[in-house]
Amino acid sequence: MAKLASLPLLRRDITYSEAKEEDVNILQQLTYVEAQENFFGYLSERKQQIQNVVARHLSVGIDSVSIPCRNEWLHGSFNVGLPVVIDRWRGGPGRRVLIRFPLPYKTGESFRPGNADEKLRCEAATYACIDQHCPDVPIPHLWGFSLSNGRIFTALEHAPLFTRCLHLELQQMENESIPVDIPRELTYSTTEQYVMDLLYCHRTRLTYQPNAIHGQIDGLRQTSAMALMNLVFPHFFDRALRRGPFALTLTDLHHSNIFVDADWHVTALVDLEWACARPLDMQHPPSWLSNQSVDTIDIGDYDHMRQEFMELFEEEESRLRVQGNCNGADISGSTRTEIMRKGWEKGNFWYCLALNSPTGLDHILYNHIQPIFSKSHVEEVWFYRTLPQYWVPELWTFIAAKVVDEQEYNKRLEKMFEVP
């Protein structure tokens, strides 16, 4: 049967041959174009209601609020922002604000209802935390937010801002109907609890994502990587920090969310979603400093940029300590700079990067983590045949089932590309 040359994704077209080679679930991504059109249409039909919400938050008349046409809306991977023009806004900082909506088809709302509200609470809590504890950090002003139950908050101190330790990868998995089994009310008291839950998320991804494993050899490679990640993690974390302190971490901060002026001075941080409190030894220089993906980072290129970053970070930390605006040393007696440098020397940087990279974990492990312990085992067959048997009982049954999963996935994928 004839095949279509390509099908549309949100940001590009993809051919069947390209889709078959992807490590992510392309069947899921092919649903997003129609879902986006439906959701944007839903918002367009409710512009009057949105204008009412904005007027209430800003204490202005409804007749002074207007929302431009869809071609002026701003949308990224997980949110859509509607510019709102305010006429006759006495005392206001300008004439425009932005009202932002999480995309329900990208946050796992259908699989785990309440995810969109949780994402909103997480972002609102980040605004409140930075505003209270780091008022000199330039962020947008949050006028208020609303939840799906109709509750509206303009005073954040009255808002229910509790969430689990939420970050992008968790909701991406739930968006693909992969259970992570982390309750929303859960608070971690130790680093080990948090790391073990993240490792469990990787386990469920391999189990539930239909194209997570590409054949028997890849199955042995990935399950061996997971067994090794579970085995070696105590080496990479400082026991003196295992019970805290924990620090607010912007887990999704990348260069497109940092605004600078002509002299490269930071003027604003935006898109503060998926921030959470993490152990201090999980804080590192940004992985994107060398502008390379996590599974293609060249150590030489990256380390040059990392050292420059650390010099500037140390200067800023010292300045803040002199001014009394920094927490100073942690309970182990180390500064943040020292903790990050130690993390790089120990390999903690790579371990945490692998934890945060569902599809890049095995590449990061075999290139940067496993050689710390042995440079020869990855060349030996027994390594891949023995180690994973301590990660999953009945290893060969598991891998055989995953091979069948991928075959069924490829059949469904091929059918999507058939000419109607």
pLDDT at 244 over 70: yes
Preceding omega of 245 cis (within 30 degrees of 0)? yes
pLDDT in tens, 326-374: 554 555 568 899 999 999 999 999 999 999 999 999 999 999 999 999 8
Give the separation between CA 199 and CA 188, rounded to whole angstroms. Answer: 15
List residues bridging with 152 in a β-sheet.
146
Residue 331: per-residue pLDDT: 54
Mean residue pLDDT across the chain: 90
Give the separation between CA 32 and CA 37, rounded to whole angstroms. Answer: 9
pLDDT at 1 over 70: no
Task: Report in angstroms the alpha-carbon separations of 238 from 153, 191, 286, 345.
Answer: 40, 9, 20, 13
Residue 343: per-residue pLDDT: 94
What average pLDDT does this structure show over 26-40? 96
**pLDDT level of residue 325 (50, 70, 90 thresholds):** low
Nearest-5° angle of CA 295, CA 299, CA 301? 105
pLDDT at 4 over 90: no
Closest CA to 229 of 336, 362, 68: 362
Amino acid at 340: M
pLDDT at 160 over 90: no
* SS3 category, 282: helix
Residue 158: per-residue pLDDT: 58
Residue 408: per-residue pLDDT: 96
- Percentage above 90 pLDDT, the chain: 65
Residues 115 and 30 sit within 8 Å (Cβ to Cβ): no
Residue 82: per-residue pLDDT: 96
pLDDT at 419 over 60: no
Residue 48: per-residue pLDDT: 93
Task: Identify the residue whose tokens are 């071609």.
Answer: 71
pLDDT at 181 over 60: yes
pLDDT in tens, 75-118: 888 999 999 999 878 767 778 899 999 999 999 999 999 999 99
Residue 201: per-residue pLDDT: 95
